[in-house]
Amino acid sequence: MLELHREEKVSPLSGCLPGLLQLPAFFLLYHVFSSSTIAGEANGLLGHQLFAAPLGGKWADALGAGGPFGPAGLVYLVLFALVAAVAAFNYRRTKRMMADNPVTVGAGAGAGAGAGAGEQVPGLGAVNKVMPFMSFFTLVTVAVVPLAAALYVVTSTTWSAVERAALYR
């Protein structure tokens, strides 16, 4: 993918636009996961629990109701451990991928067909610096959203990491 960006002289950040188009769906999911009523009726989802943690609760609620090692706090600690493991896996994979695809495009192996010597693809340097750390932002998300939304984020992030690992072997 990075080679295609090089050949076409397009910033890899241009791929962020489709992600932004998904924001309304994420806002809707957040609303479903955090509203006590939907269409004037009680939100049945929030009445359920994952082990001892209510799906409508947040990490701050778990800390206040028993601390990090209380029943609900342990649920969050397990989620944080899972997210940290997936983030570390993604970090290593992304660093390796970025090392295999250098920032500058020049003459020689891996250079794009129409690229000049030492030419830099716009935005690629910033992407190389920031991209490996993006997975760790999921930890912040899990800490501040309701548990139902955190489970969605953890599930989709883990699924994506496994899928990418299988596809890019």
How does pLDDT run across 93-106, given as a tens digit for each residue?
A: 877 876 776 655 44
Q: pLDDT tens digits for 109-145?
A: 444 444 444 555 566 666 667 776 777 888 888 888 8
| 135: helix, strand or coil | helix
pTM for this one? 0.68
* Under 8 Å between Cβ of 20 and 140: no
Q: What are the residue boundaries of the structural domains of the chain, listed by start?
A: 2-167
| 6: helix, strand or coil | helix
How far apart are the C-alpha atoms of 103 and 122, rounded to whole Å?
10
